[in-house]
Amino acid sequence: MTLDPPGREAAPASYADAEALFRAAYRDLIPAAYRLLGNRADTEDAAQNAFHKLMVAWPKKVGGLPADEQRAYLIKIVINEARQILRRPYRSREFPGVDAGDRASLSPSIEEKVQAKEELRLVWQAIGELPGARRDVVTLRAAGYEYEEIAAELDIHISTVRSHISNARKQLSRRAARDWEGEQQ
């Protein structure tokens, strides 16, 4: 018995592979998202959205790739989802003094915390605007990964990781300088 009526292109019979990939990579996906987001609810959202994106991209794009590239693709989906959450003006699950906390913890007052959060959001926006491969490398670096780990996760050479990070630093600091000047006018 066929799953699809005759005359229609059969759906790829490999969604089970996509789910298997997700399960196998889950132990790596969750820390990647959590290290960026710092709270459970956002991490869960990022993981769910990543599964969804994987399913949508599977038949045409991902299913045919070699296993290493599939895994790297999935990592990229997850950190991309996390970055989208970090770029939101108001993160829905944050509670002042709890989740809003740890990245803004250097600032004592609430006002300063709010400002630190807003600055952080702009940093994530700037990171999101870096070219594709550089953006992925920098995002994993910002999650606290070492160069070798980034190379392994993204299936690229470590020298590529190095050069992306060094170039991104320059781009980001140029941009920060520009934004700062903009504020002064």
Partner 1 sequence: MSHGRSADGTSQPDVLDWLYEEGRQRATRVPEFDVERTLSRARAALDAGAVSFWTVLNPAERAAFEATAQERTFPAGTALMREGERAGEVMVILDGWTKICVDEEGREAVVAERGPGDLVGEQGTAPGNVRSASVIALGAVRALVMTTAQYTAFTGEHPGLPDVVKRHTYDRLIGRPDRF
Binding residues for partner 1 (CB under 8 A): 3-5, 7-8, 11, 13, 15-16, 19, 22-23, 26, 30-31, 34-36, 38, 40, 43-44, 47-49, 51-52, 55-56, 59, 102-103, 106, 123, 138, 141-145, 165-166, 168-169, 172-173, 176
**CB 21 within 8 Å of CB 78:** no
Residue 135 CB, nearest approach to partner 1 (Å): 12
Residue 34 CB, nearest approach to partner 1 (Å): 5
Residue placing its CB nearer to partner 1 in the complex, 114 or 122: 122
179: which 2 tokens?
């934004």
End-to-end Cα separation, the chain, in angstroms? 70
Q: How far apart are CA 83 and CA 91, in angstroms?
A: 12
Residue 7 CB, nearest approach to partner 1 (Å): 5
Residue placing its CB nearer to partner 1 in the complex, 72 or 143: 143
Residue placing its CB nearer to partner 1 in the complex, 3 or 185: 3
CA distances to 87, 112, 166 from 170, in Å = 21, 26, 7
**CB 180 within 8 Å of CB 55:** no
Kindly compute the dihedral angle of the four CA atoms of residues 158, 164, 170, 174, in this order, to the nearest 10 degrees.
Answer: -160
Residue 185 CB, nearest approach to partner 1 (Å): 22
Sort 145 into a burial class: Cβ within 10 Å, 0-12 / 13-18 / 19+: buried
Residue placing its CB nearer to partner 1 in the complex, 85 or 142: 142
Residue 100 CB, nearest approach to partner 1 (Å): 14
**CB 122 within 8 Å of CB 180:** no
Residue 5 CB, nearest approach to partner 1 (Å): 5
Residues 6+ apart with CB under 8 A from 46: 33, 37, 78, 81, 82, 85
Residue placing its CB nearer to partner 1 in the complex, 50 or 72: 50
